[in-house]
Structures are given as structure tokens and as C-alpha cells.
Amino acid sequence: MSTVLAVIPARGGSKGVPGKNLAPVGDAPLVTRAVRECRAARLLTSVVVSTDDPGIAAAAHAAGAEVIERPDELAGDTATSEAAVLHAMGVYEERHGVAVDVVLLIQCTSPFLTREEINGVSAAVLDGADTALTVAPFHGYVWREGAPTGGHGVNHDKAYRPRRQDRPQDLLETGAAYAMRAEGFRAERHRFFGRTELVRCDPARVLEIDDPHDLARARALAPLLDGGNTGLSSWPLPDYLPTRADVDAVVLDFDGTQTDDRVLVDSEGRELVAVHRGDGLGIAALRRAGLPLLILSTEENPVVAARARKLRIPVLHGIDRKDLALKQWCEEQGIAPERVLYAGNDVNDLPCFDLVGWPVAVASAHDIVRGAARAVTSAPGGAGAIREIASWILGKELTAS
């Protein structure tokens, strides 16, 4: 099976529209809209967002994309989209140990791009074209200023005005989606080479956001063009929840994730917390399924160690840099971080969210943490959130266990 990778370049700097890639259109930021349509495109293997901006990275993670950090030399105004795609493709191949066959350049500044158009350019290259792009029918007369005769026709002779049906069909490059055969793209370092297939789109949906007026038009059009059928509903969506095929290990925060974040202190200074029996059942089922498990906590507390012993899973607590401890644990276990599900609830979990492939927030998590998560439980911490995560991963296996 061919590996088809979509790359969404989304740097943080934008002079025309500051913070453009995080600007909301309809119900979601531009980068989120692009990721969602890519994830819904059946011909794609994976979607990655290449960015230098933590806010964009968090939004991309939450929408279900893999994030690739863009180096400084590719984050300036003069860096090309091709350079960003080549870098992201190389990192993806090294990270996953696969060779990409077809690579897509997806521009999130085209807010009304559809999954059908993404599939269209992908299919064109899979079927034999070297490159493909989205285009829309265009019937306008293009003029260009210039001496000595002033304005002159670019796609017409200004002295001859044929009827539209007598003119050749012009097609406008939408700027939304491009697909390239990966081998040729590496060699040519440009999005157009060899045989180029044109994939027609609805001209009513063509809009590139380059200035504030474009953004205003997009926001005005979104209620009409989204139409309730584009999949742009609020996160999380059911088909984005992880299954056993997505996850090789589960790492759990403790306070606020396995508890309700309250602490009871007796007259002797001893601390007590409340946990959920259903969480214990879920963790036991994950353990029986052979998934490596770990409790990772900032607090150094006998309660954490006691709960880990009860659950019969390892614990690392009293950890200042949870992300470093998690990275080391993954290396020791031989587990790729992008195959790890990490469940947390507060801002000290965000560095771990950036490290793993499946950052999950419990329903009672801080707003920032929920926004950075790839999935959010319906249950709050200490009220069955971990059992809910186990049911995502194990499905019927959990019910049968």
C-alpha cells in the first residue's frame, strides 16, 4: 500500500494577517479546519503540520495531526513552502521508518478546501500523474499594466472580444492542495514537474486568505459553505478516538486525572484522596491486554505509590521534568513516543502532550490542556475517565474482560 502524506505548512509569523493560521473561521481555527479535512480524506495515510509556533502545534495536536517542529531557517518570510514540505517529509520518514510515495502540500489559508479535493489530487498521482493541483473554472479577462500602450490583455487580445463559449477554458489555480510523486519532488524540489493533472473544484468555494478583507469574507461565507456537512463540528469527534492499533503504551498523570484533585488532610497531616473503582478495572484490562503502563506524577506522595502498588503498575513520582522522565522511560521500553497515550489534566502535563502522539485530557482539565489535547474524555478526573480511555483502546475486549 502506498504511503500518502499530507503536509500543512503553518508558521507563526504572518505580516498580512497576524496569527493567521490560528484565526477562527466558522467553528474552528484555519489550521484545525485543514487538519480535519485531511483526516477525513480516505486516501491519506497521515497528516502532519510543520510549524514553529507552540499555539499552532497545540491546535494541530488537538485536531489529530502529527506535529513537526520547523527549524528557524525555514520559518522566515523568504522560506518556500517546498522547503518546509521537504523537511517535514524527511522527518516523518525517519521518525516512522517508512518511505513516502506521494506527498501533498495543503494550504490551511484556503478555508473551504474539502476532503474530496484532497482525495482528488491524491488519486491523480496514485493513478500515474507526477503532480496534481486543485483548479477552478475561470472566465475573466486578465489585464496587466505596462508601457508603452498602457494596459494589455494577458489571456486575450484586447482588440477582439469573443463570446465566452468561443474562448478556451481557463482554469484558476486555487492554491489549496497540491500532490507530488515523492521521488520526483525530492529531485526537482518544486511542486510542478512531469505530467500535471488538474483537479477541478467548485469556484464558489475558492478563497485564499492573504489580508484581513479575505478573512472577513471567509467568516461571512462559512455559515453558507460549511452547511453542516463538512465534519467541522466541535472536538472531539468519535472517529478520532484512539484504538489498540494506535497505541503501544499508556502513561497516566495522578492528581486530577485519577482523582478529583481534592486532598483530605487528617489531624496528623496524612493526606487522603478519592479514586474511582472503574478506573482500576480499566487499568487492569489494559495490563491484561499487554500494554505497558506508567503513572507519572509531579507530587512525591505515599498515596501515589500505594495506588500504583494496588494497580500493579510502575510509578515515577516527585518528578520535576515529567517530559524528560517520559522520554527516558520510552527509550528504556523501546516505545516510540508517538505511539504513547498520555492522560493529564493541568499545565504541567503540556510538555508531555508535546512529546506523545496521543495527548488526552480528562473532562475536568484546565481549558488550555483541553485545547492542546487530541481527545478529551466525557468523564472528569477521578470519576471514571481512565476507564473511558481503556474502553476507547480495548472496545469489546474491555467489556469481555
pLDDT-derived band of residue 162, with 50, 70 and 90 as boundaries?
Answer: confident
Which tops the pLDDT comparison, 162 or 352? 352
Residue in the block written with cell 484532497: 118
Q: Which stretch, 126-135, 156-165, 241-250, 368-377, has highest mean pLDDT?
A: 126-135
* Cβ contact 208:109 at 8 Å: yes
Question: For position 76, what pLDDT does the model report?
Answer: 75
The pair phi, psi for residue 138, each rounded to 5°, is -140, 130
Pick the closest to residue 35 from 17, 48, 54 (CA basis).
Answer: 48
Give the Cα separation of 15 and 189 in Å (integer).
Answer: 26
Strand-pair category, 249-252 with 143-144: unpaired
Question: For position 122, what pLDDT does the model report?
Answer: 96
Maximum Cα–Cα distance across the chain: 97
Pick the closest to residue 66 from 392, 305, 340, 319 (CA basis).
Answer: 340
246-294 tens-digit pLDDT? 899 999 999 999 998 887 877 777 778 888 889 999 999 999 999 999 9
50-78 tens-digit pLDDT? 999 888 898 888 888 999 999 888 877 77
In this model, does residue 236 exceed pLDDT 50?
A: no
Give the Cα separation of 394 and 388 in Å (integer).
Answer: 10
Within 10 angstroms of residue 262's Cβ, the number of other Cβ atoms is 11
Question: For position 160, what pLDDT does the model report?
Answer: 82
CA atoms within 13 A on the CB side of 8: 36
Written in H, E and C, the secondary structure of the chain is: CCCEEEEEECCCCCCCCCCHHHCEECCEEHHHHHHHHHHHCCCCCEEEEEECCHHHHHHHHHHCCEEEECCHHHCCCCCCHHHHHHHHHHHHHHHHCCCCCEEEEECCCCCCCCHHHHHHHHHHHHCCCCEEEEEEEECCCCEECCCCCCCEECCCCCCCCCCHHHCCCEEEEEEEEEEEEHHHHHHHCCCCCCCEEEEECCHHHCCCCCCHHHHHHHHHHHHHHHCCCCCCCCCCCHHHCCCCCCCCEEEECCCCCCCCCCCEECCCCCEECCCCHHHHHHHHHHHHCCCCEEEEECCCCHHHHHHHHHHCCCEEECCCCHHHHHHHHHHHHCCCHHHEEEEECCHHHHHHHHHCCEEEECCCCCHHHHHHCCEECCCCCCCCHHHHHHHHHHCHHHHHC
Which tops the pLDDT comparison, 318 or 78? 318
Question: For position 142, what pLDDT does the model report?
Answer: 87
Question: For position 229, what pLDDT does the model report?
Answer: 40
Q: Find how far residue 252's CA is from the centre of its chain.
A: 22
Indicate whether this model's pTM tops 0.75.
Answer: no
Computed over every residue of the chain, the mean pLDDT equals: 87
